[in-house]
Structure 1
Amino acid sequence: MRRQSETLLLVPLLPIFLLGMFPMFLIALLGFFGLALFGVLVACVGLASSNEAHDNFNHDVIVHGYARGSERKARASDMHLATRLGLRLEAVGAAMVVTAALGLCYAG
């Protein structure tokens, strides 16, 4: 029986590596400014996630009307869960921007 090469196991991970390379190069090449830019991008993702959750909830209410109490509570719970995730991403993005600003002040 012929043994397969271990490099075939790494082939599915190649796209993840290639996508993850860009932010690392951004931070490495631009320094604190790159960290701040990456923080702004993370905060934008948080805002988009929160807006999408509200959009989905409003769409369900407008298209399907008000549902029974249990279904409405489940939809509202999903919206609140997605909104909390968006708020966490916004907080992480803001922390990255503040960290970059402090690093720029102390290193510069």
Structure 2
Amino acid sequence: MRRQSETLLLVPLLPIFLVGMFPMFLIALLGFFGLAIFGVLVICVGLASSNEARDNFNHDVIVNGYARRSERAAQASDMHLAVKLGLRLEAVGAAMIVTAAIGLCYAG
């Protein structure tokens, strides 16, 4: 019986590697400045996530009208969870920027 090549196991992981390669090169080549840019990108993702959650909630209210109390509570809960995730991403991005600023001050 012929043995299959182990390289076929790596083929599904290739897109993940290619997507993750850009931020790692950004940090490696630009140093602390790259970390700050990556922090700004993380903040942008957090803001977009929060805005999208609010947009979906408002869209449901406008298009479908006010639902029953339980459905409205479930929609509001989903929105609050997504907004909290966005706030966490914004905090992580701000921490990355502060870390980069401290690193630039001490390394420079």
TM-score (norm 1): 0.99
Who is 1:103 aligned against? Answer: 103
Question: What CA distance in whole angstroms lies between the structure 2 residues aligned with 1:2 and 1:65?
Answer: 62
> Aligned equivalents of 1:19 and 1:74: distance in 2?
34
Runs (4 or more) in structure 1 with deviation over 6 Å come to none
Q: Please list the CA deviations of residues 23-43 of structure 1 after superposition, one character each: whole Å capped at 9, or x if unmatched.
A: 000001111110000000000
Could you tell me the TM-score, scaled by structure 2's length? 0.99
Q: Does 1:37 align with 2:37?
A: yes
* Cα offset, 1:2, TM superposition: 1.4
Q: How many angstroms does 1:98 deviate by?
A: 0.1
Give the total of aligned pairs.
108
Q: Verify: 1:47 aligned to 2:53, yes or no.
A: no
Unaligned runs of at least 5 residues, structure 1: none
| Corresponding letter in the other structure for 2:100 | A
The residue that corresponds to 2:9 in the other structure is 9
Mapped to 1, the partners of 2:74 and 2:64 lie a distance apart of 14
- Give the percent of matched residue pairs that are identical in Structure 1 and Structure 2: 89
Q: Which runs of 5+ in 2 are unaligned?
A: none
What is the CA–CA distance in structure 1 between the aligned matches of 2:69 and 2:18, rounded to whole Å? Answer: 46
Deviations 1:74-108 (A, max 9, x none): 00000000000000000000000000000000000
Task: For 2:97, give the aligned amino acid.
Answer: V
Q: CA deviation at 1:3?
A: 1.4
